[in-house]
Structure 1
Amino acid sequence: MSERPADHGSTEVPARRVFRFAPSPNGLLHLGHAFSALLNHDLAHLAGGRLLLRLEDIDRARSTPEFERRIIEDLGWLGLAFDEVPRRQHEHHADYEAALDALRGEGLLYPAFMTRGETRAFAAAFEEREGRIWPRDPDGAPVYPALDRDLCESERNDRIAAGEPFAWRLDMARALALVDGPLGFEDTGGETPAEVAAEPALWGDVVLARFDTPTSYHLAVTVDDALQGVTDVVRGRDLLPSTSVHRLLQALLGLPVPRYHHHDLILGGDGRKLSKSRGDVSLRALGEAGLTPADIRRMVGLGPAPA
């Protein structure tokens, strides 16, 4: 990181564009996944680019080989082919650790010991005492109060040695101080392409790894996109706020900046986002009920596959 480029992230992209679909193998695909996978396929085809499959399986407690197998089968049933073998995140811990080491070397990480429950309790106590709302991140969770950000090294080491659980959090204020000027990214998901201002500070001191998990979603997806040469990130609009964190990590680590396309979500009949955890009807169930891949394309608002 001592040789980080002055512009904090190159925007140069390879001549051939690279897209990726990145599901988590912790459940069956539903229509929302199908739309994102098909849209990635169509845009890659129209651009003369490549399409990659990434299995975001860092959560080993919920990710299973059976779900992975079914996801790959369902994508094949949709008619999708990928240009490389899938990248499985759990096989690349060393890549994430290298990024963490680089950030540690800049003094940007600290071990944080407060749990989610303790953070919620702190926010509730603050609100009762002060009569005003404690800040929330874009997902609605209380921003981490960072009471342990300035612990002395010996106390940190003693608590870690005693086996106290902790997370590696990014010192957001210090990280932003290293960035030259405002951060932004191009998003083509609206009616016209737009330059979006990144606002990573809204997330507070985000988690980048835990004592028992070598990375977080934010870190892994940023590192993976760079290592896989992804030029175009096409994903749901619900992930738009996360892109601010990813843009900051790209700047800190000197990584390329892809184009972004945050698409609308496929919603259920009650207007909420489809979810594997809530048991929304799976793509496999639709196929077993007699629907065809062409039917699925129509259901998600896509025309025939590009020739």
Structure 2
Amino acid sequence: MISYFKTVGSELTRLSKPEPGCWVSVVEPTPDEVNVLIEQYGLDRDFVRSSLDEEESSRVEREENQTLIIVDTAVAEKQDETFLFYTLPVGIITTAQYVFTISLKHCPVIDAIENGAIRNLQTMHKTRFVLLLLMRITAGFVQYLKQIDKISYHIEKQLSVAMKNKELVQILGLEKSLVYFSTSLKANNITLEKILRGRVMKLYEEDQDLLEDVLVEVKQATEMTKIYTGILSVMVDAFASVIANNQNTVMSRLTVITIIMAIPTMVFSFYGMNTAHLPVPDTWFPTLISVMVTVAVASFLFRNKNK
């Protein structure tokens, strides 16, 4: 789908057709729409394909009068009772008249900007528009990192009673998400530093200050990722130990029950055999012996349970 937006006054307005200085948002484009981008708007074919490649890494490239910036953005999807976090590349292509954002799937950041999440956004100022977009993408990482921290805290509260692998699998999924985040943030940081040198895009003083703020935000998100990764690694080890201890406790209880239940069986087995000269071959005697021995053994086991 191709959508057109332009700042009119101080508000972002959706257009029915493109105008100079507008933002062209491309999400989940069809093959026909891809051809329109290449043939009608003259976008570089390789730039468009790279923007739609799910495995494309973050980078910046310039070809004639077009500049391509590919950055990874954080995405969250709810699966079963938990969230799956991963990253998705978004291509930003600037030309003489337009700014294009191309995404293979729906991206929360792009959707938020289309709904006016950034105030006083000027689509005519292409460089500042791109930098504000990069700031919003980086802020998305921080937002999802905080969600990961809350989810891990909720799982941690269940540690003391956990005897299943469900919580452990959830933590492993969060660790996997943090690996994605860490790799993407490092790649984004390299791309932003290349832009900061001013060789790819012309930066004014205000633009340079904004880009430096974006870099600070990226470094903060990177540090948060490292901290949460360390916390989750410790939690996984502790979680595995807790599960093993809980299982051992259950097994010990089952063992005690098995021993206690075996005593009456042993006594009545002796009296059930066709053997002569058994003491007091009456029904009440083996029953009394079974009860007395069972009570004695049970008392001994439970008294020494916590020693």
Relative contact order, higher structure (CA 8 A, sep 6+):
1
**Greater Rg over alpha carbons, structure:** 2
Structure with bigger helix share is 2
Using the size of structure 1 for normalisation, the TM-score is 0.23
